[in-house]
Amino acid sequence: MSQLMLSQLGAGSAIWSQVNDVFVTAAWLAFVAALFVVCALGMHLLVLTIVFVANLGRGKQIEAALAASPMPAVLPRVLIQLPTFNEPGVVCRALEAAAAIDWPRDKLRIQLLDDSIDGTTDIARAKVAELKARGIDADVIHRTNREGFKAGALKNGLLYDDCEFVAIFDADFIPPADTLKRTVPALVANQNFAYVQTRWEHLNREMNLLTRAQALALDAHFTVEQGARNWSGLFMPFNGTGGIWRRAAIDDAGGWEGDTLTEDIDLAIRAALRGWKTGFMPSVSIPGELPENVPAWRQQQFRWTKGFTQVALKLLPQVYRSTHLTLVQKIAMTFQLFQGWAYPAGALALFAALAAMLLTSSQPWGIFAIGVFSTAFGGVAVFAMTMCGQLFLRRPPGVKTLFAFFTMLALNGGLTLSNTRSIWEAMRGTPSAFVRTPKGREAALDKARPTKGHSGLAELFLAVGAIAIAIWDEAWYSPFFALTVFGLALVGSATLTARLSRQA
């Protein structure tokens, strides 16, 4: 080989080495930037936990004052709305629970807002006829289209009634008989309250490891997150069910709108922009059902994550122009609406790490330290919030709780691809239907329906590929990498298994 050819090969090798170094540097910078976002969102959770602890005494006094609100001399009329869509297994139970609520019969009306396209409507009409024979004011309002989805059904129901207060319960929730007597007086006594939000409890908490993990996360949300926000004067959202609204606040805020997948926080923010306040009563618990399989839970998380981003794009410009909100309230609301961005940040970190592993066989110790710190920091923040929630509810953590906690972390890591796609769709303005989450007995019935949705193969392929690259690069030391990959494998395999069982 001539000297010229050797020199050209050497020059080409040097250029490729420089290009490779640029790509490696870019990959590690992207990795660090992504983990910075994860840390910022983890800091948000830690701050909320600190705020909760700092305001715990005040919060108990606030709720005690709400609970002590005197029963009005003249009880107001209350409308109970039960939105349903293809829920034949729980619709009768929901109607019976609403009918059992302790409130004067001439002051209470029940609406079953039914958009069903299966046999639910016939079941509901038969049950409503039975309730009417017992002297209960109940109706089935059936729509032949799902315009606006749940928000459209709620809005349509209000056209048929002018009750002063509106209680909303999803079909899988069972409100206790004293729910209105414990919440309506607080709304009557506080004329600036748009709604009173209660706490969710879980009928099927101990069904399996998935439901226990979900229960931990929701317990933390309904104690630490909601408590911290409400008791410190920050914005506390409505959770879509288990709340009682003042009709005047709904109308003043512009009514229900179906242009996002989270109509609850959409209306709540618009009410806050009009100056309305909220009440929080965690001692009043409304039991409901949790998704019992990974595909149903994944579907629910996709909808919530996309909906939050849609609301952020829709309302944050108005939030920052508002004169009713302080700067701290606006910043807190921004973090709240963008909390789902931990998923695309996690996806970026994962792909950046894989790219760097392919391009180089070494990892700078500084990068390793950042990875360990961010993983540990995020884990500590979530752990602190979760355990505070359990202690508030007087549920001492045990081995089962810790196992469920780590399952919760892994499962959330497994949502990296799915929820990143949900945010991408929201940013692009891609529309999608409000897909009801099958729960409990509804999930069993749902198996008979045509196969749809994700197969889980993308998560499995990514998990297997990531493991192969880690083995090839001997990158056994990244906790962030391990947790996310394990979660992807878990969610992917569970989703694929469920899909195959439906096809069988």
**Hey, which residues are catalytic here?**
115, 264
Looking up tokens 């309305």 gives: 276
Of 251, 245, 260, the closest CA to residue 159 belongs to 251
Of 42, 48, 175, the closest CA to residue 99 belongs to 175
Chain centroid, CA 302 distance in Å = 9
Q: How far apart are CA 316 and CA 304, in angstroms?
A: 17
Classify strands 243-246 and 138-142 as parallel, antiparallel or unpaired.
unpaired
Residues near 362 by Cβ (< 8 Å), separated by ≥ 6?
none
**206 in Cβ contact with 128 (< 8 Å):** no
**446 in Cβ contact with 88 (< 8 Å):** no
Strand partners, 165: 78, 246
Sheet containing 165-168, strands listed edge to edge, beginning at the edge strand earlier in sequence: 138-142, 108-114, 78-84, 165-168, 243-246, 193-202, 277-288
SS (H, E, C) 122-133: HHHHHHHHHHHH
Q: Distances in Å between the alpha carbon of 111 and those of 96, 260, 407?
A: 12, 23, 39
Q: Distances in Å between the alpha carbon of 39 and those of 35, 45, 283, 453?
A: 6, 10, 32, 32
CB-neighbour burial class of residue 192 (10 A; exposed 0-12, middle 13-18, buried 19+)? exposed
DSSP 223: I
Look up residue 193 and give its two tokens. 């309250």
Label residue 196 left, alpha or beta by phi (over 0 means left) and psi (-120 to 50 means alpha): beta
